[in-house]
Every structure is written in C-alpha cells, then in structure tokens.
A and B are shown apart, each in its own frame.
Chain A
C-alpha cells in the first residue's frame, strides 16, 4: 500500500475516482436489476412507468405464464441436459488428454501438441463443420450442441501446463508404490488439481449454458431449442417486427413482462454459479497467462 501526499489535487482526484467508479458499478448492475424488477411488475406498470427498480405492484404473473407453457420448461430442460452432459464429457476429454501431454518424456508428444496448436490457428470453418455434423447425422440432435466443441484447445493447453507444474517426484513415488499410469492420474494427480478442475468445469458449464449459435446452426426442430435460442426468438425476432425469420410467426408477440421473465430465467443459473466462479476464476485466468 503506497502512502501519498495529501495534496489537494490528489484529493480531488480521489473524489472524482470514487464517484466515477461508483457510476461504473451502477451502470453495470442497473440493467439486470431493471430486468428483474420488470419481470415482477404488471404489464400496465411497465407501459406507464419508464424506469423503476421496485415495482409498485408485485406480481408473479409472468413467471406463472412461462411455467405454464411447454416451450420454456422444455428449453430449460434441454439447456440443463446439454450443460450437464457437455461439461462432464468436456472435462473427461480435456483431463485425459492433458495428462499424457504433460509428460515430457512421452513419445510423440510434440506431434500431438503441434496438431492441437495448428487447430487453434486454422480450422475448416463454418460450412465444412456444418456439413460434417450433417453427414454424421447429428442435425436436430442435442449431440450437435456438444460434440463439435467438446474440447476447447485453450483450456486443454492450460490444464496441460498445470499438470506439468506438479512435481515430478509425485509420479515417481507413486510408480514405486506400484501404481499404474491411470492410478497415478486418478489417485495422485486429480486430487491435486481441484482448483483447475473447478475453474474449467465452470468455464465449460458457462459455455454450454450460454451457447446459442450452435443451436441456431444445427437445430431446426423448435422442440429441441435450448433456452438461449428460445429467448432470442422471443425477444428479438418477435420484437423486431422485421419479418426476418419465419419462426417469428410461431409466437404471438409476447408481453413485455414475459420477455423480462425469460431473460431472468436464462440468466439465473449463471448468477447461482457466480459466487463459486468468482472464487476460482482469477486463478484460472492467471494460469491462462502462463504459456505451455
């Protein structure tokens, strides 16, 4: 902590700084607070009052409505399923690939690492990937939302770097104790990697929960839409009134409070996870700045 001269210009700066940052903080959260407040307000209040953070009349009509429809519940279910299955699969693939790659004496390690690095530089692009998914018969299947991005190469490299930093002696001693490679991995390495596992489980979970583009690309069957795609269609397509997409006609233009309630529902899991996230991600990001 650096002490400073209490010059008058320093004080002016301090005051300005505190006020400016308070405004930044407010501007960050107010939109969320408005959305939450509006989702509990009546339609007439939303139409008459331009801005409020506490509704005059507290009502849960919007939530009752969205939970009485099939679409929202089904979409939430699909999002949960994709997030849970996707995150587990991604973590298994990432951890099992990262561990061997962290072993510097592994034959063929450099070839594999270059294969991964090259895939980060260059990829087939949207259309060839789409055609692959189509040819694999994954269109309109929730596997299309999981398999094509099951491993994030950046995450893989960071996890590999983490394993590499664990002391070599641990491996040697567990081998002397008669552990197989897999046992070493399972019983010695994984328990030591809890912070990394927590960080990347959360990163993958946030990714799967937030993903809408793959659903847009690969799912034409509206009954398989995850919540993000449903939200996009409800708020943007119905709202824009531009008739850009045919799907617009699937829905009656929803009332304002219903849109706000769907935004809240699509956000809640992240907000529930956030305290856990926050504990771990600073570490995770810092790991990311360490090169492999």
Chain B
C-alpha cells in the first residue's frame, strides 16, 4: 500500500521534472535570448563581488587574488581607528542631511506652484525649461559653475564685488563648498523632480476642490486639506527612498567640485575610495572602505523598505 503511494509520488515528481525540462526545451529561444544579458550580470556585476575578498588581503597585482597574503580585518581596523573615518562620516552625513533639508522639499514646492498656474502654455513652457538641466552632465554643470564663480572674472564675483567691494572664493573655500553643492543640485534636479509630483497632482479628484470651495475653503486651506493629502504618499515613498540612499552623495558632482583647498569638507566615502584606491593604488584598503559603505547602504535600504511597509506603503521590493 505504502509502496504504491510512494510510486505515485515518484512518478508525479518525475513527471513534473520532465515537464519542466520539456518546458525549457520547448521555449529554448527564451533562454538563448536571456543569455547575453545573463553573461553581462555574471561578468560585470557578480564577478566584482568575488573581488571583494581583496579587502581581507594585502592584494598585490603581481600575485593576484590567489597568491596575495590574507590579513583578516586589518584594513577595517585601520580605517575605523584612522582620523579620516570620522571626517568622512561627518562630511557624508552633513551633505546627506543638507540634501534632505534643502533639496528634498524643492521639487514639492515647485510642483505645487506650477500646479497653481492655469495658463497651460505658460505652464508647459516653464516645465520644458526646468527639465533641461537634468540632461546635462555633471561636467557641464561644474564647468558652468567654474565660469560663473571663479574669482578671475566670473560673472557672480564681478556682481558681488561691484556691490560689496570684494570677491568670494566660492570654488576653493571650505565654507562655501556645501552651499555650492546644494545650489548646483537644486538647480540641476529640482525641475526634473517635479515630474512625479505633477503626475500625482494631476490625478487629484477635481470634485474635492469644488466641494472645498462650496465649504468656503480659501486657497491655502484647499492646499492644506486637499492637495497635500493627495500627494502625501508620493512624498513619503520618495523620502524613504532617499533615506535608503543616505550615504550616496553624488560622487561625480563632489569629485568635480573638490580640490586641495576644500578637501577637508569635500571628502566623502566615494571620493576617498577613488583617491586612495585608484590614484594611490591602495587597492585592498579602499576596497575595505567601499565594502563598509556598501554594507551600511544595504542596512539603510532594507531599513527604509521596512519603514515604507510600516507607513502603509507597498515597500520598495
């Protein structure tokens, strides 16, 4: 009796297996199609993950990963006890915080203002204009900043010196580094950031506004009780996403705007990995720094995902 039962299960399993292979062979085109992309992921995404082992070695390019000496957590120990660590943590944290305070609300405010414009031609023209900087490279943005802010004849400095009589060295002053970075990112990305909020605003039920008007709500009450609640979930999810990428200060932007005079405030984890790893050749040490950043990053993203789900959103994954 039991045997019969077992046989049945076996044959069912076999049948299932067979049908799986049959399905694969029947749809082999799908697998041929997926192969090039799969190769890409294995070679350029997964292979470097294996390369992380050099963070635990004294990697030498001549010996390779197999022959290099293992040193355990030595590089991590060195990094955490190094004064660089606190400086990087502080710079990264402050830039991320500035980003949340100054940049994050900008697209929300701009889309609320754009949404109040009823002349559709004017609105569309404005949108077209404010989207443009998003498509420019950081090199272009940084170059334009140099041209405008330089003390040798930059437009902004000539204006300032004609008013207050002296120039401000924006480009190489540690005090001006953070405001300059914030100014650039607000200028480049605020307009683009409105795309998603304007879409959310476009889907607000117009009857709610009419009802609010009937109830005697003025403009700001309508904004507060109808418009903002309507885009609240978009704001929350984007805020949580931003928290998940808290450590990801824009590498290209910061690299381009940093120089030996403002490095004390400009160095963040990403630029440090580049300078120590690529320009100074400390492969193992900078891989360890990068790994530390990645792990903190994952913890933040997973944490943000939990937060999103707690906030009643569907989560990030």
Query: Is the pair A124, B48 in contact by a Cβ cutoff of 8 Å?
Result: yes
**Is the Cβ of B52 less than 8 Å from the Cβ of A124?**
yes
Residues of A within 8 A of B (CB): 1-5, 7, 9-10, 13-14, 17-18, 20-21, 24-25, 27-29, 31-32, 34-35, 38, 46-47, 50-51, 92-94, 96-97, 99-101, 103, 105-108, 112, 115-117, 119, 121-132, 147-151, 156, 180-182, 185, 206, 209-213, 217, 228-229, 231-232, 235-236, 239-240, 242, 244, 256, 259-260, 263, 266-267, 270-271, 274, 277-278, 281-282, 285-286, 289, 291
Complex: chain B residue closest to A228, CB-CB: B139
| A242 with B49: CB separation less than 8 A | no
Chain A residues closer than 8 Å to B143, beta-carbon distance? 231-232, 235-236, 259, 263
Can you list 24 pairs linking A and B with CB atoms under 8 Å apart?
A: A4-B213, A17-B117, A24-B110, A25-B125, A32-B144, A97-B38, A107-B23, A117-B317, A119-B41, A119-B46, A121-B301, A125-B290, A126-B273, A127-B51, A127-B278, A127-B287, A148-B44, A150-B40, A156-B37, A212-B138, A213-B255, A232-B142, A259-B147, A291-B314
Of the candidate stretches B4-12, B87-95, B96-104, B126-134, the one touching chain A is B126-134
Partner of B116, one of A14, A122, A259: A14
Are A29 and B294 within 8 A (Cβ)? no
Which residues B25-64 have CB closer than 8 A to chain A? 27, 29-34, 36-38, 40-41, 43-52, 54, 61
Chain B residues near A242 (CB, 8 Å)?
172, 259-261
Contact A274–B126 (Cβ < 8 Å)? no
B251 within 8 A of A: yes
Check if B129 sits within 8 Å of A2, measured CB to CB: no
Q: Is the CB of A21 within 8 A of B114?
A: yes
- CB of B176, distance to nearest CB on chain A (Å): 15
Determine whether the beta carbon of A232 is less than 8 Å from that of B33: no
Which of A7, A122, A282 contacts B49 (CB under 8 A)?
A122
Chain A residues closer than 8 Å to B218, beta-carbon distance: 5, 7, 9-10
Report chain B residues within 8 Å CB of A270.
Answer: 135-136
Residues on A with C-beta less than 8 A from B219 are 4, 7, 9-10, 13
From known contacts A236-B146, A242-B259, A244-B259, infer whether A132 and B33 are also in contact, taking CB-CB under 8 Å.
no
Name the interface residues of B167-223: CB closer than 8 Å to any CB of A. Answer: 171-172, 187, 191, 195-196, 199, 206, 209-210, 213, 218-219, 222
Q: Does B298 touch A at the CB level, under 8 Å?
A: yes
Contact A123-B45, Cβ < 8 Å, known A13-B219, A181-B27 = yes
Bin chain B's interface residue count.
35 or more
- Does B264 count as interface, using CB distance less than 8 angstroms? no
Which of A38, A50, A105, A278 is close to B159, meaning CB atoms less than 8 Å apart? A50
Report the separation of the CA atoms of residues A229 and B126 in the bound assembly, to the nearest whole angstrom: 31
Q: Is the beta-carbon distance between A213 and B172 smaller than 8 angstroms? A: no
Q: With both chains docked as a complex, state the minimum distance between the C-beta of A203 and any C-beta of chain B, in angstroms.
A: 10
A116 and chain B: residue at smallest CB distance: B41
Select from chain B the residue with minimum beta-carbon distance to A270: B135
Q: CA of A261 to CA of B249 in the docked complex: distance in angstroms?
A: 30
In angstroms, how far is the closest chain B Cβ from the Cβ of A14?
Answer: 7
In B247-292, which residues have CB < 8 Å from any A CB? 251-252, 255-256, 259-261, 270, 273-274, 277-278, 283, 286-287, 290-291
Contacts of A150 in B (CB 8 A): 40, 44
Contact A96 B294 (CB under 8 A): no
B79 at the interface (CB under 8 A from A): no
Q: How far is the CA of A292 from the CA of B287 in the complex (A)?
A: 32
* Set of chain B residues within 8 Å of A105, measured between Cβ atoms: 23
- Are B27 and A106 interface neighbours, CB within 8 A? yes
- Flag whether B310 is at the interface (Cβ < 8 A): no
Cβ contact within 8 Å between B290 and A126: yes
Q: Are B195 and A282 in contact (CB under 8 A)?
A: yes
Are B36 and A2 in contact, with the CB atoms below 8 A?
no
Contact of A2 among B113, B139, B206 (CB under 8 A): B206
Nearest residue (CB) in B for A93 is: B37
Whether B52 lies near A267 (C-beta < 8 A) is no
The answer to whether A125 touches B52 (Cβ under 8 A) is: yes
List which B291-314 residues lie within 8 A (CB) of chain A.
291, 293-294, 298, 301, 314
- Interchain CA distance A102-B68 in the complex, whole Å: 43
State which of A25, A96, A232, A259 has its C-beta within 8 Å of the C-beta of B34.
A96
The 6 closest A-B pairs by CB, nearest first: A124-B48, A97-B37, A128-B51, A210-B137, A181-B29, A125-B290
Contact (Cβ within 8 A) A94 B37: yes
| Chain A proximity of B112: nearest CB distance (Å) | 10
Assembled-state Cα–Cα distance A51/B160 (Å)? 13
**At the interface, yes or no: B84 with Cβ under 8 Å from chain A?**
no
Q: Contacting B294 at CB < 8 Å: which of A17, A125, A132, A212?
A: A125
Question: Which chain B positions have C-beta within 8 A of A129?
Answer: 44, 48, 51
A131 and B283 alpha carbons, distance in the complex (Å): 9
**B26 to A: closest C-beta gap in Å:** 9
Residues of A near B252 (CB, < 8 A) are 212-213
Query: CB-CB < 8 A to B126: which residues of A?
Result: 21, 24-25
Q: Is B41 within 8 A of A115, CB to CB?
A: yes
Known: A4-B213, A50-B155, A240-B259. 13 other contacts (CB 8 A): A2-B210, A13-B116, A25-B130, A50-B159, A122-B298, A126-B278, A131-B54, A132-B44, A209-B137, A228-B139, A239-B146, A270-B136, A278-B128
